[in-house]
């Protein structure tokens, strides 16, 4: 299951085209309180700005404001059900697994709060780059599924199906709706998050995608 998710998610965010590196660079800028531009990301990645602009145009999930600045790339300034507080800043994530992955990618501890997708009961946790702490309720789980028609729209293909639930029992109806998906304890989801951080959101090799 883990290897399949890593492979399919990597494809979904256009790994071969550099989408994974672009998402990572944007996430780091957003976590620091910035609203990155194509030019800033080009500088960070040492890519031609034209390449970054073209790649952004091909990633339908990316959120931008009316000035063209990125306001959301997995981590977002726009409110979602997944609250993500880091270094005194309140941001949000597109899905439950994002909230587990991004502290690893960013290298900072986050406080996460999200309603159970079935009961609306609060699920709260503290996520460090190395572990998950203070999970409440302790029986909370994460749902994982990737749409069969996965494309570069990572939010629609993946994030829209990845939620926190207060317990396995609370996720029972979701399981019935997504028989090919999985429901896993927070600790197991964090193991998956570490693998995704290493294989999908790893720091890019310098100049690997330049032209």
> What does the pLDDT look like over 75-90, one tens digit per residue?
999 999 999 999 999 9
User: Residue 69: pLDDT band by 50, 70, 90 thresholds?
Assistant: very high
- Say what the pLDDT of residue 180 is: 85
Spatial neighbors of 33 by CB under 8 A, at least 6 apart, are 89
Q: Is residue 208 part of a domain?
A: no
Round to whole Å and give the CA distance between 185 and 11: 25
Residue 3 pLDDT greater than 70, yes or no: no
Report the CATH number that the domain containing residue 55 is assigned in CATH.
3.30.450.410
Side-chain-side CA neighbours of residue 21 (13 Å): 21
- Say what the pLDDT of residue 59 is: 87
Q: Is residue 76 part of a domain?
A: yes
Residue 60 pLDDT greater than 60, yes or no: yes
Residue 70 pLDDT greater than 70, yes or no: yes
pTM greater than the 0.85 cutoff: yes
Q: Is residue 209 part of a domain?
A: no
Q: How many CB atoms lie within 10 A of CB 171?
A: 24
> Can you tell me whether residue 39 is helix, strand or coil?
helix
Asked if 167 and 140 count as a contact pair (C-beta separation under 8 A), the reply is yes
User: CA Rg, the chain, in Å?
Assistant: 16
Asked if 19 and 152 count as a contact pair (C-beta separation under 8 A), the reply is yes
Please give the tally of structural domains in the chain: 1
Active site residues: 95, 98, 159
Q: Is residue 211 part of a domain?
A: no
Which structural domain, as residue segments, surrounds residue 173?
2-199
């Amino acid at each position: 299951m883990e290897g399949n998710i890593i492979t399919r998610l990597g494809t979904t965010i256009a790994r071969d085209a550099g989408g994974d590196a672009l998402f990572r660079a944007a996430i780091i800028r957003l976590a620091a309180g910035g609203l990155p531009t194509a030019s800033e990301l080009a500088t960070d990645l040492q890519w031609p700005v034209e390449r970054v602009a073209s790649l952004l145009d091909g990633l339908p999930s990316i959120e931008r404001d009316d000035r063209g600045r990125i306001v959301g790339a997995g981590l977002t300034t726009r409110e979602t059900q997944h609250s993500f507080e880091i270094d005194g800043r309140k941001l949000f994530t597109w899905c439950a697994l994002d909230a587990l992955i991004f502290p690893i990618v960013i290298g900072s501890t986050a406080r996460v709060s999200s309603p159970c997708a079935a009961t609306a009961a609060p699920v709260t946790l503290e996520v460090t780059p190395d572990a998950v702490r203070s999970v409440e309720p302790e029986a909370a789980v994460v749902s994982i599924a990737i749409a069969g028609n996965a494309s570069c729209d990572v939010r629609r293909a993946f994030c829209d199906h990845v939620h926190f639930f207060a317990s396995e029992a609370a996720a029972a109806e979701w399981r019935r709706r997504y028989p090919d998906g999985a429901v896993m304890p927070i600790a197991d989801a964090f193991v998956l998050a570490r693998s995704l951080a290493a294989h999908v959101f790893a720091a890019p090799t310098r100049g690997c995608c330049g032209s």
